[in-house]
Structure 1
Amino acid sequence: MAFQYEYAVVSQIPRSFEEFLMSPDANIQGKKGGKFDYEEACNEREKFVEALRQNGVDVLEMEADERHPECVKVDDTAVIINGTALMCNPYRCHRQGEVNLIRHTLKKELGIKIVELNTENAQVEGSDVLFTGQEIIVGISAHTNEAGAHAVARAFPEYATSIVKLPQPFRSLKDAVGVAGINVLAVGESEAAKQLLKEIGRVASHTYKVITLPEDHAANVLYINHHLLHLSSQMIPKSIGVFENKINYYRSQIHIPELFNAGVPLSKLALFAGPFGRQKNIISTIP
């Protein structure tokens, strides 16, 4: 069943991430040129991991690798659906080492079937691939192109795959829209978010209930094992009431301001897998 997970793969935070945030390559709002509290970020990540365990998820925790400063953002490296993992091609060449580590972990520890991009010029990050439980939506962004979207469609032929263009200022699809329940999408109420939702409605093969949130970043949620994880009330003061009024199933608040301001939203912190079902083939909706 969709969003029923046995395992999560996470990574500890390397000290080199702090150095990376001070470099031009970081290109994020908030912490560039500012102070990053490494210890606090580690505490936030540990509390996130504990929340996963409390929801019945067996967490495979990778040690921090100083060679790969962005390794905590594991969701960028792969897309996992029904026991198959498509290995991605994250933006910036130095991140290929992260992909290799995740590939090895998924294959050796979980026995997941590995699929490679095998497409010239394909660019795709897992953060731009939204699995709704019914279909796959791929956001075309600075980090994901159409060749990458087609690779996603080929890797998961059992689901229809559609493409949307990600409007500014969103950096990835999951920054703008999240799965908040069975056939439920969470999205912000900015003009850019409304534009994206309209495009999703145009290309999607299914219809969804939509929870509209006053703050765009509140849409970055995780729905796992019938439980919704969303940002804390301190981080989304205008949106917390919407979750309280609209969600009638278990939910937990996750407080990660240090990580979030460093370009690590909730969805980037883990890769989820299992249980694995049998696959069927259908035709993608990508033209």
Structure 2
Amino acid sequence: MIGNENISFDMLNVFIKVSETKSINQSSKVLLLSQPAISKKIHQLENYVGAQLFNRSAKGVDLTYDGHMFYVFATRMLNELTRTIDEINHKNFSFSNLTIGVLDSISSFIFPNFFINKVYELQKLEVTNKGIDLIMPFNEGRLDAIIIDSAFGDDIVGPYVQKKLFEEPYYIVYSQSNTKMSPLIKSATVRAIDLQKFNLILLPTHCPIHQQVVKTFNRLNVALPEIFENNYSELTISLVRNSDFIAVLPESIAVNKVAQDTNGLGMNKLEIAFNRSVSVFGRSADIVEEIEKELA
């Protein structure tokens, strides 16, 4: 017999999670609800259905026969609801409602066509060379999606959807007249230990490239070479061209810079440990899917 309680999708979600974990304690951790709150929702649901849904014991909870039947109904209903909402969101999706953030190097050298086409359509486009300038507004809900190095996922809080877009190697860029490079020019790849005798010039520590270089040396347990910081990418290339400095750049940027000065600059790939991964992070699956589709 159905009781006086009103069923809710929240009740169904709690019921499904308890059914799958077989533990109110574990469900509490996953759902971020107190155990008394979960027990109350289960009691309300049993009143509504008019049947006991769980057998309770010191070891946890198990579905009763009626509970198994109701589990099939509940999962089917929630799956149908999710599918319908996704279809509605997909149908009504518009880039004009989105605020997107992206690293300058990614927008300029990897996906220029996307941002050229979308710059006037987007509600807001935030372009920066500082990862923190994207992560903070994303965490605070002021950006719907960000396109950034995958490693920054460790700094993102709250629920999000991530889709890896591509991976590329890092290269060292050097002057053709840099005699220190002679032993390495014919090498298939350059190792971290090979760079110890060189002076690196990088953007400041807020730059994802700088952070990736430092993290990789630390991960390989190799001492860092001397690093000089410079705020301006064009000045960095100019200094490399006219000195013994070398720069570490992802392939998309290195190829662009060397192609502009093939007589003055050279490049060699770094070992795979330096590889760069870039992802799109969004607050919902439909946002990530639409951005990925447009970038393809």
- The bucket for the TM-score relative to the shorter chain is under 0.3
More helix by share: 2
Structure with the larger RCO, 1 or 2 (CA within 8 Å, 6+ apart): 1
Compare CA radii of gyration and give the structure with the larger one.
2
